[in-house]
Structure 1
Amino acid sequence: MQVLVLGLILWVASHLFKRVLPGLRAKLGDLPGKMVVTVLSLAAIILMVIGYRRAEIVPVYTPLPGMGHLTDLLMLIAIFLLGVPHSKGLVKTRLRHPMLLGVLLWAFAHLLVNGDLASIVLFGGIGAWAVVSILLINAQEDWKRPAPGGLRSDAIGGAIALVVYGLIAGVHIWLGHNPFLGTYG
C-alpha cells in the first residue's frame, strides 16, 4: 500500500505544482516545467499501478449488484470528456473543466464497483485531486467561454471515445477484469 500512496502523492504534487507554487514553476520555464511534470506523472502512474496490483485486498464495503453496467456507461462518458478540451465541439463551450470532470467521473465509476481499501485510496485520491484542482483553477483564473463549436466535432469525439473505450475494455478483459459482467467481487 505504501507504493500506491507514494504514487498518489507524487501525482498530486506534480499536478498541483503550478497551482500551489506558481513562482517556482515559472522559474523553471515552460518546456522544462512541463518536462518535470511529465516525468513525475509517469513515475506516479507506474508507482500507482504497481502499488495497486500488489495491495492486499481489504474489503471496506460491498458494491451493489449490477453497478458494473452503470460504471460502463459512466466510463464511456468520462472518456469522451477527457477528449473534449482537444475538440472544437459544442460540449467544450458548456463545460469549464471537462477533463477534470472526466477524471472525477472515472474515479466515481470505479468506486461503484470496487469496495476494497486500495481502490478507495487510489480512486478516491485521484477524485479528490480533481476536485481540488477545479477549485484552485476557479479561484486563480477567470474563464472565457470558447466560441461555440459544431456538433460534428462532438460526434467525432464520441466515435473516438468508443474506440478508446473498446481498447480500455480489452485491456481490462486481458487482465482478468471483464467490465461487462455487471457485478464484481
Structure 2
Amino acid sequence: MTTSLIIGGLVLFSLLHLVTATRSIRSAAAEHLSELQYKSLFSLLSLVTFGGAIYGYIESSYVEFWVPESAVVLFQSFVLMPIAIILLVSSYISRGTQRLTRHPMLMGVAIACFSHVLVNGDLAFILFFGGLGTYAVLAMIWSDYQCRISKGPKDQLFLEQTGYFPSFGRLYPEEGDILPRVGTLGPVIGAVSYGLAITYHGQLLGVSPLSSLLAS
C-alpha cells in the first residue's frame, strides 16, 4: 500500500505539472478560470498528490538494497550537493543562472534526488527520490519541446543561447543575448545555503555527512 502511494502520488504529481506546463492547455484553462482559481486548484492538487507520496514514504518499512561506500557518500555530499544547492538557490535570484544550465531549478532537483539515491539503498527512498528526480528530467525535456514547437523568436533564441551543461562561451554576454550575466550573488548565497545544510543536516535529519568525512 505504501509503495503504491509513493508511486501513484508522484505519477499524478508529475502528470499535473507536465500538463499545466503544456502551453495550449494552460491557455485554455486561463480562459475558463480566474488566476486565483487556477492557482488555488493547482496548489490543492499538488499538495494532495505530493502529500500522498510523502505519507507513503514516511509509513514505508525499511527495505535495504545496498549500503554505500564512504567514498560515494563523500562524493555526493561534497561534490554533487554543492552543485545542486547552488543551482537551486541561484535560479530564484538571477535568470543569469540559465547560462550555467538551461533549467537550473530542475537540474538542481535532479542532481539532488539522484545523488541521494546513490547514498540511500532503502526501497522507499529509491522510489521517492528517484521518482522526483525522473519528474525533473521529464519536465526539462517537456519544457524544451514546448519552446521548439512554439516557433516564437524568444523561445528559439533561448534554446540557441542555453544548454544543459556549462560552457565558458555562454558565461559572457554577447550581442543579442537575452540573458543577464550570471553574477555572484546567486552562487554566493547558494554556497552559504549549502554550508548551512551540510552543517545542520545531522541535527535536522539524524544523519550527518560530516561523519563520513571524519571517518575517512
TM-score, normalised by the number of residues in structure 1: 0.80
Q: 1:167 to 1:66 in 2, by over 3 A?
A: same
Q: Which runs of 5+ in 2 are unaligned?
A: 148-154, 162-177
User: Which residue does the alignment assign to 2:132?
Assistant: 126
Q: 1:109 to 1:31 in 2, by over 3 A?
A: same
Q: Which runs of 5+ in 1 are unaligned?
A: none
Q: Distance in 1 between matches of 2:71 and 2:195?
A: 20
User: Which residue does the alignment assign to 1:49?
Assistant: 54
Q: Distance in 2 between matches of 1:137 and 1:97?
A: 9
Which among 79, 87, 110 is matched to residue 81 of structure 1? Answer: 87
Q: 1:93 to 1:162 in 2, by over 3 A?
A: closer
User: Which residue does the alignment assign to 1:22?
Assistant: 25
CA contact (8 A) 2:7 2:131 kept: no
Which among 7, 10, 15 is matched to residue 8 of structure 1? Answer: 10
1:91 aligns with 2:92: no
User: Which residue does the alignment assign to 1:181?
Assistant: 211
Q: Secondary structure at the match of 1:180?
A: helix
Which structure has the larger Rg over C-alpha atoms? 2
Counterpart of 2:62, as a letter, is I
CA contact (8 A) 2:90 2:190 kept: no
Structure 1 residue 167: Cα displacement: 4.6
Q: Distance in 2 between matches of 1:65 and 1:75?
A: 15
Q: Distance in 1 between matches of 2:120 and 2:111?
A: 14
1:147 aligns with 2:179: yes
CA contact (8 A) 1:68 1:181 kept: no
User: Which residue does the alignment assign to 2:69?
Assistant: 64
Q: 1:149 to 1:10 in 2, by over 3 A?
A: same
Query: How many matched pairs?
Result: 180
Structure 1 residue 74: Cα displacement: 1.5
Counterpart of 2:117, as a letter, is L
User: Which residue does the alignment assign to 2:175?
Assistant: none
Q: 1:150 to 1:4 in 2, by over 3 A?
A: closer
Q: Distance in 2 between matches of 1:178 and 1:138?
A: 37
Structure 1 residue 104: Cα displacement: 0.6
Per-residue displacement from partner, 1:128-177 (whole Å, max 9, x unpaired)? 111111111111113525333153xxx32223223433454425533312
State the identity %: 32
Structure 1 residue 97: Cα displacement: 0.8
TM-score, normalised by the number of residues in structure 2: 0.70
